[in-house]
């Protein structure tokens, strides 16, 4: 399937970049995550459960007791939700269980909460359990139990936070997929940052991810590109009356024309293309222009830290008769008709608001058809989960592609594939909106941003907000106040831990992890406990963010973790004389550093040791 040359390029897996299987018990951890969502925990797997799991086990036991006593009906099976509290006065964790059960039990929530607490087994992990408000149960962890997460982090290292929820399922993430008609702009950058981070997040959740880029290298836009280059070759300007009607007006077209005329060779994907230099050979100009712009995009993405496993060319669909085959399959599926000399698909049979043309009157196909053929090919390649990350301006294709796939009667699920849509990026400079239109001429490229504000900051900024929110990218702000970018705040926390370790070394008081781990109970400050609770929430956050396909949650989490670290660092001196306390605090710092590192890796942002 993969060896017939249909794919433009296959890349060697980057062993260094993607964390592979790890030696520590991630599958076991996955079971725990699941348990938190309401299933019975598997008892006895570890004597070092994180706090939330401990509380879950205790509550489950209490529920059983109440059922036996007849206080609760035997058939209630609530999904127990345990939340980290916002307010320290509410303890470390809280549950609304009594509120949920009040109705089925026919008892007031507070009375039920009291019964639950009475039925709670003794546990050394908890120092106190309270009833609060309308019937919340608040749990106070004792320091030593909360600190166990540090030991877990030391054991698991880079693997801490990873899980096997994906069960190694093959998932394809298609993203960027820009037309090879110009440089990548900020919108593509957002797609690249979100798509790549989402891929990393899914990998951390145990999925086998294929990153794919689809090139629309056939069709009318490519003709426009060719005509534009041909016009520049002739020395025409966009202001000339003879300039092609829908031509690309950007300056970069001049570069393409110059390179073409000087016989340059460019390498893109798996093949090299040499310019013919013949100003009248449209086919040669087309091939060269596409190759040239593919190479440019590829370099930009590489500079952005984004690489793909598969580059899929639309032209390959035609070359391999996949488009024709798809038409045949659609016709025999019985949802097509001819009208006005065109061939239509009755997409209204599948929820579209109007039928769509497949084959134009003049004989060519609309873009919609290769899209269907492409997705059929994805399905045939065995991806049961496909996520298309794209700009919200393409959302109308969702209904059409899905309708087309249904019309094939190929047994493809109704809501396949999945989509993650990001809203448009509004770019401003000097308070003015900068248009992101290739045809309009001047605009801000992804390359500009990387050069001006740096790769880490650009990636972070573009991935740190929910894809559904429209965002404004203020170039002046990003460029002039790079220190205000939150990514530095996070990186600084990482560098600070490294710095303290260096100082310990310099002072001849080198970090002794075993002494530290043996004395974690000395971490008694509230801020230290906050940090430990935050660290304990990391695996759960990875699982949740992956399930929701929201990499921005990772950015959010890291910001909070870094904030709590800075706060703690400022208040609690690490390099104290007492070596047990000192090493325990260093352990906490190193654990924070580890989680920062694991999180930044998911965002594709570096974790510098000094800044």
Partner RNA sequence: GCCCGAGUGGCUCAACUGGAUAGAGCAACGGCCUUCGAAGCCGUGGGUUGCAGGUUCGAAUCCUGCCUCGGGCGCCA
Q: Which of residues 358-387 bind RNA (CB under 7 A)?
A: 360-362, 364, 366-368
| Closest alpha carbon to 276 in 289, 268, 221 | 289
CB of 39 vs RNA, minimal distance in Å: 15
Residue 33 CA to residue 28 CA, distance in Å, equals: 9
Q: Under rule CB under 7 A, which residues in 17-76 are in contact with RNA? A: none
Q: Which residue has the tokens 């352990």?
A: 587
Does residue 479 come out as left (phi exceeding 0), alpha (psi in the -120 to 50 range) or beta? alpha
Does residue 168 come out as left (phi exceeding 0), alpha (psi in the -120 to 50 range) or beta? left
- Answer yes or no whether residue 221 interacts with RNA by CB under 7 A: yes
Q: Which one of the spans 158-166, 300-308, 388-396, 406-414 is the region binding RNA (CB under 7 A)? A: 388-396
- Answer yes or no whether residue 424 interacts with RNA by CB under 7 A: yes
CA 113 to chain centre: 39
Q: Is residue 222 within 8 Å of residue 288, measured between CB atoms? A: no
Q: Which CB, 191 or 259, lies closer to RNA?
A: 191
- Answer yes or no whether residue 86 interacts with RNA by CB under 7 A: yes
Residue 218 CA to residue 610 CA, distance in Å, equals: 48
- Answer yes or no whether residue 483 interacts with RNA by CB under 7 A: yes
CB of 235 vs RNA, minimal distance in Å: 27
- Answer yes or no whether residue 116 interacts with RNA by CB under 7 A: no
- Answer yes or no whether residue 466 interacts with RNA by CB under 7 A: yes
- Answer yes or no whether residue 447 interacts with RNA by CB under 7 A: no
Q: Is residue 66 within 8 Å of residue 77, measured between CB atoms? A: no
- Answer yes or no whether residue 220 interacts with RNA by CB under 7 A: yes
Residue 566 CA to residue 389 CA, distance in Å, equals: 35
Q: Which CB, 5 or 341, lies closer to RNA?
A: 341
- Answer yes or no whether residue 94 interacts with RNA by CB under 7 A: yes
Q: Which CB, 3 or 87, lies closer to RNA?
A: 87
Residue 376 CA to residue 383 CA, distance in Å, equals: 10
Q: Is residue 233 within 8 Å of residue 279, measured between CB atoms? A: yes
Q: Under rule CB under 7 A, which residues in 547-586 are in contact with RNA? A: 548, 550, 552-553, 556, 559, 563, 566-567, 569-575
Give the three-class secondary structure for 312. Answer: strand
- Answer yes or no whether residue 495 interacts with RNA by CB under 7 A: yes
| Closest alpha carbon to 185 in 442, 454, 460, 471 | 442
Q: Is residue 250 within 8 Å of residue 442, measured between CB atoms? A: yes
Residue 324 CA to residue 310 CA, distance in Å, equals: 23
Candidates 13, 27, 104, 133; binder of RNA (CB under 7 A) is 133
CB of 471 vs RNA, minimal distance in Å: 3
Site string for RNA, 275-314 (x = CB under 7 A): ---------------------------------------x
| Closest alpha carbon to 129 in 62, 37, 79, 44 | 62
Candidates 85, 336, 348, 513; binder of RNA (CB under 7 A) is 85
- Answer yes or no whether residue 113 interacts with RNA by CB under 7 A: no
Q: Under rule CB under 7 A, which residues in 141-170 are in contact with RNA? A: none
- Answer yes or no whether residue 397 interacts with RNA by CB under 7 A: yes
Q: Which one of the spans 13-21, 121-129, 291-299, 490-498 is the region binding RNA (CB under 7 A)? A: 490-498
Residue 194 CA to residue 461 CA, distance in Å, equals: 10
Site string for RNA, 325-364 (x = CB under 7 A): --------------xxxx----------xx-xx--xxx-x
């Amino acid at each position: 399937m993969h060896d017939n040359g249909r794919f433009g390029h296959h890349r060697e897996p980057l062993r260094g970049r993607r964390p592979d299987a790890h030696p520590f018990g991630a599958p076991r951890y996955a079971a725990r995550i699941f348990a938190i969502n309401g299933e019975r925990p598997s008892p006895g797997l570890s004597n070092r459960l994180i706090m939330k799991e401990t509380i879950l086990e205790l509550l489950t036991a209490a529920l059983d007791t109440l059922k036996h006593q007849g206080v609760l009906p035997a058939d209630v099976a609530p999904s127990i939700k345990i939340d980290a509290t916002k307010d320290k006065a509410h303890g470390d964790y809280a549950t609304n269980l009594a509120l949920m059960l009040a109705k089925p039990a026919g008892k007031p929530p507070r009375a039920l909460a009291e019964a639950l607490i009475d039925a709670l087994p003794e546990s050394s992990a908890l120092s106190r359990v309270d009833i609060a408000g309308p019937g919340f149960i608040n749990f106070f962890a004792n320091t030593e139990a909360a600190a166990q997460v540090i030991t877990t982090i030391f054991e698991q290292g880079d693997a801490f936070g990873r899980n096997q929820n994906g069960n190694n399922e093959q998932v394809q993430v298609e993203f960027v997929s820009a037309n090879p008609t110009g440089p990548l702009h900020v919108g593509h950058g957002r797609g690249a940052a979100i798509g790549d981070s989402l891929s990393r997040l899914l990998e951390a959740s145990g999925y086998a991810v294929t990153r794919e880029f689809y090139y629309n290298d056939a069709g009318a836009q490519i003709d426009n590109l060719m005509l534009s280059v041909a016009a520049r070759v002739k020395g025409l300007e966009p202001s000339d009356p003879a300039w092609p009607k829908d031509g690309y007006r950007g300056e970069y077209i001049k570069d393409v024309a110059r390179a073409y005329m000087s016989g340059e060779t460019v390498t893109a994907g798996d093949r090299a293309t040499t310019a013919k230099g013949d100003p009248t050979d449209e086919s040669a100009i087309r091939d060269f222009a596409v190759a040239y712009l593919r190479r440019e995009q590829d370099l930009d993405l590489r500079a952005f830290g984004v690489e793909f496993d598969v580059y899929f060319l639309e032209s390959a669909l035609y070359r391999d008769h996949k488009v024709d085959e798809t038409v045949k399959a659609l016709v025999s599926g019985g949802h097509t008709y001819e009208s006005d000399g065109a061939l239509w698909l009755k997409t209204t049979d599948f929820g579209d608001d109007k039928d769509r043309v497949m084959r134009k009157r003049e004989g060519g196909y609309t873009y919609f058809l290769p899209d269907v053929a492409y997705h059929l090919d994805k399905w045939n390649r065995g991806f049961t989960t496909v996520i298309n990350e794209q700009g919200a301006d393409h959302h109308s294709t969702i209904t059409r592609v899905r309708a087309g796939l249904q019309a094939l009667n190929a047994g493809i699920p109704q809501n396949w594939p999945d989509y993650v849509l990001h809203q448009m990026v509004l770019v401003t400079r000097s308070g003015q909106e900068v248009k992101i239109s290739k045809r309009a001429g001047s605009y801000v490229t992804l390359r500009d941003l990387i050069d001006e504000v740096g790769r880490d900051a650009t990636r972070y900024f573009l991935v740190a907000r929910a894809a559904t929110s429209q965002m404004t990218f203020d170039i002046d702000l990003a460029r002039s106040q790079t220190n205000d970018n939150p990514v530095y705040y996070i990186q600084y926390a990482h560098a600070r831990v490294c710095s303290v370790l260096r100082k310990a070394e310099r002072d001849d008081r080198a970090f002794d992890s075993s002494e530290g781990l043996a004395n974690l109970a000395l971490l008694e400050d509230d801020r230290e406990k906050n940090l430990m609770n935050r660290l304990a929430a990391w695996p759960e956050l990875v699982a949740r963010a992956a399930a929701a396909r929201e990499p921005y949650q990772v950015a959010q989490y890291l910001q909070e973790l870094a904030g709590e670290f800075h706060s703690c660092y400022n208040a609690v001196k690490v390099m104290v004389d007492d070596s047990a306390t000192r090493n325990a605090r260093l352990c906490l710092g190193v654990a924070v550093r580890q989680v920062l590192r694991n999180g930044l890796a998911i965002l594709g942002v570096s974790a510098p040791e000094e800044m």
